[in-house]
Amino acid sequence: MEEGDVEQCDFVGIDVGAKELVVAIRRDRNVLPLNRFENNGRGHRDLCRLLTKGKRRARVCLESTGIYSLDVALALHRAAGIEVMVANPGAVKDFGDALLKRTKTDPQDAVVILEFVERMPFVAWQPPTEAALELRAIARRIAVLTQQATAEKNRLHAAEATDELGEVVRHDIDLNLRHLRRRLRELLRNAVDLVRRDLDLSRRFDRLISVKGIARASAVAILGELAVLPPEMSARQWVAHAGLDPRQFQSGTSVAKRTRISKIGNGRLRTVLFMPALVATRHEPHVRAFHQKLVARGKKPIQATVAVMRKLLHSIHGMFERDADFDGNKFYAIAA
């Protein structure tokens, strides 16, 4: 969009919820009454029609909120006359704090996002490739079925500890569990086949499985989340996107809470990094040494594991950039 077009376009902030989009629009220096749309295909089409009515142009910003924001971002991106920016929730929160916006409501959030897209440098969103989108869909389906299989395993364990459920229920649970495992194997095979048909995904997949602690299933889960991120994102931005960035809570000189991770962003990415971090801590000497150093300094084991997750994400970013396998010495050099 040319500079002259920007002066004449609408600015739009969208607060994305699981079921609803709250839309704030500034047109000709005036903020219009808030609009609300369902967060589904029909709502997305209605939103695009509103923003392009009369051949108007729009610059739109929404936060990256995982599965809820991707479809609407794709719909907006495909509409003629609309530019889309997908902002990190942490950056928007810091912007709102700087504006002293203390109220936390969907309408207020939409207005903050509107001000964000007006005042901050506009970075146009580049949609992921079709292969990356399909991989993420398969990876997330695997995660859903894995949760179901875990629940069934727990039920089977409970059934074996009591006679109250009876043989019929135990048999049905066992049958369903075997069915889920068969579907999980098939989905994983489909995911790996998809990766191997795409040169970039295949290259990244090989880098991931070079880490002790990341096998095929974990690599599919991690790559499914990372492959849809903009290629220009830095390692620090990855960490913030995963909500693994440390945040210090302090009020004046009287209240100072322990530093914690922000947990603002993609919770799925945090989840899929946790087990690889645990396994790498046990089996990769440099990762284990880093973890032990933190524990020796007074960190709780879980805090040290979170630090491993954060550092591992930095390492993966570097591996993708250099197209190089995992190097333990780059992760943490062990003193001779």
Q: Average the pLDDT over 64-68 and give the result.
A: 69
For residue 42, what pLDDT is reported?
96
By three-state DSSP, how is residue 255 classified? strand
Could you tell me the pLDDT band of residue 159, with boundaries at 50, 70 and 90? confident
242: its two tokens = 């995963």
pLDDT by residue (tens digit) across 223-255? 999 998 878 788 988 898 888 887 654 444 445
Assess whether pLDDT exceeds 80 at residue 7: no
* Average pLDDT, rounded, for the chain: 89
For residue 64, what pLDDT is reported?
79
Q: How far apart are CA 153 and CA 163, in angstroms?
A: 17
For residue 251, what pLDDT is reported?
45
Q: How far apart are CA 308 and CA 273, in angstroms?
A: 9
Kindly provide the b/e burial profile for residues 41-52, where b requires at least 16 CB atoms within 10 angstroms of the residue's own CB: eebbeebbebbb
pLDDT by residue (tens digit) across 23-42? 999 998 899 999 999 999 99
Residue spans of alpha helices (H) in 161-265:
166-196, 199-208, 216-226, 235-241
Contact 224, 139 (CB under 8 A): yes
pLDDT by residue (tens digit) across 79-126? 999 999 998 887 888 898 888 766 666 688 999 999 999 999 999 998
For residue 336, what pLDDT is reported?
62
* DSSP per-residue codes, 271-285: HHHHHHHHHHHHH-H
Q: Average the pLDDT over 205-229 and give the result.
A: 96
pLDDT: which is higher, 6 or 227: 227
By three-state DSSP, how is residue 303 classified? helix
Q: How far apart are CA 231 and CA 305, in angstroms?
A: 27
162 contacts: CB under 8 Å, gap ≥ 6: none
Q: pLDDT > 90: what percent of the chain? A: 66
